[in-house]
Amino acid sequence: MGGPGETQIETDRRLIATRITRLKRELKDVKRTRQLHRQARKRIPSPVVALVGYTNAGKSTLFNSLTQAKVKAVDQLFATLDPTMRGLDTPAGQTIILSDTVGFISQLPHELISAFQATLEEVVEADVIVHVRDAANEDTENQKADVLAVLRDLGLGEAVGDMLIEVLNKIDLLTAADRGALANQAARSNIPMVLVSAATGEGCETLIATLDERITEHFRTAEVSLAHDDGASLAWLYDHGNIIERRNEEDAIHLMVRMDAANWARFERRRP
Ligand SMILES: Nc1nc2c(ncn2[C@@H]2O[C@H](COP(=O)(O)OP(=O)(O)OP(=O)(O)O)[C@@H](O)[C@H]2O)c(=O)[nH]1
Ligand SMILES: [Mg+2]
């Protein structure tokens, strides 16, 4: 407790100040490890799926339920660096990297905003964004608006386009009628919407199938052959795509490249 004469408000202020200092320190650690594993990840040709959403929506629970019992080789790269990334093998035979993120909160204390945004760099680099929502929370629509506003601030408004998936979590807490209404809404939605319960695992298979579908549609793997003196194209491909395989042969450099559709189109335009 505080010194003699300290009022309750003063005590509260002091406790909050201590808490903010601690959170700032933790966020700095997060930022450092993320820089490290981002370098590690450059070597892994797998799409990254970021779970984003309001605080308490169930992102970490979903992260665990999607990846449990599936410890992948790629994890060895991350496990010690950052426990918030884990590999997942899908039924379609793809490996995806799931990334758990810090939840959004409205009216974040302004001292925390810049530190918080640093942790969201991860989201900007993701290939797919899964917006996890607490469908059982009465404030769920406002929370959604807040999260979408943050995504827009990150420059991820319209650009995210078809790589945004909405997950309506905690359906185990809903009445059958509410579930039915949500299922209807999901069926009419422009963006993929999946009903799940991270707690019971219900809907998780559908979610993974949806991820599989999006990623398969979006990314294409193809072989590219470059002349040995075409260093510019080579650098461009390393920058924009994932080089899965590289063979330097006498006639040319042969690459297996995985890239999204927009970048393939850009690459075609670059070629004479
Ligand atoms: N009933 C029910 N509870 C859930 C479900 N998913 C998560 N929860 C609970 O919701 C609370 C928050 O879950 P978390 O996974 O920690 O939420 P989060 O989105 O990671 O939260 P932050 O990390 O703070 O952003 C926990 O008490 C979970 O047990 C669900 O599907 N059903
Ligand atoms: Mg969490």
- Indicate whether 207 pLDDT > 70: yes
Confidence of residue 71 (pLDDT cuts 50, 70, 90): very low
Q: Which residues line ligand 1 (CB under 6 A)?
A: 53, 55-61, 103, 169-170, 172-173, 197-199
The ligand 1 atom at the shortest distance from the C-alpha of residue 200 is 31
Cα of 74 to ligand 1 centre, how many Å?
26
Residue 55's pLDDT is 87
The alpha carbon of 131 and the centre of ligand 1 are apart by a number of angstroms equal to 14
More confident residue, 46 or 246: 246
Predicted confidence at residue 11, as pLDDT, reads 81
Instruction: Give distance in angstroms: CA of 53 to centre of ligand 2.
Output: 9
Q: How far is the CA of 54 from the centre of ligand 2 (A)?
A: 9
Q: pLDDT higher for 17 or 100?
A: 100
Bigger pLDDT: 245 vs 23: 245
CB-based contact 72:95 (threshold 8 Å): yes
Question: 79 vs 249, which has greater pLDDT?
Answer: 249
Write the residue with the smallest CA distance to atom 11 of ligand 1: 56
Bridge-partner residues for 129, per DSSP?
50, 164
Largest CA distance in the chain: 83
Closest ligand to residue 135's CA: 1
- Best mutation site among 61, 65, 133, 168 for ligand 1 pocket (most ligand atoms within 8 Å of CB): 61
Residue closest to 140 by CA, chosen among 54, 200, 62: 54
Check whether 196 has a pLDDT greater than 70: yes
How many Å apart are CA 87 and CA 44, to the nearest integer?
11
pLDDT of residue 57: 95
For residue 144, CA distances in Å to 48, 54, 62, 76 come to 22, 8, 18, 34
Give the pLDDT band of residue 73 (cuts 50, 70, 90): very low
Q: Helix, strand, or coil here: 93? A: coil
pLDDT above 90 for 224 = yes
Nearest ligand 1 atom to alpha carbon 132: 19
Q: Which ligand is nearest to the CA of 169?
A: 1
Q: Using the predicted structure, report yes or no on whether residue 41 has a pLDDT greater than 70.
A: no
- CA 122, CA 117: separation in Å to the nearest integer? 10
Ligand nearest to the CA of 137: 1
AA letter at 55:
T
Arithmetic mean of pLDDT, 52-64: 92
Distance 70 CA to ligand 1 centre (A): 21
Report domain extents, the chain. Answer: 8-217, 227-270
CA distance 51 to 232: 35
pLDDT bucket at 157, cuts 50 / 70 / 90: low
What's domain 8-217's architecture? Answer: 3-Layer(aba) Sandwich (3.40)
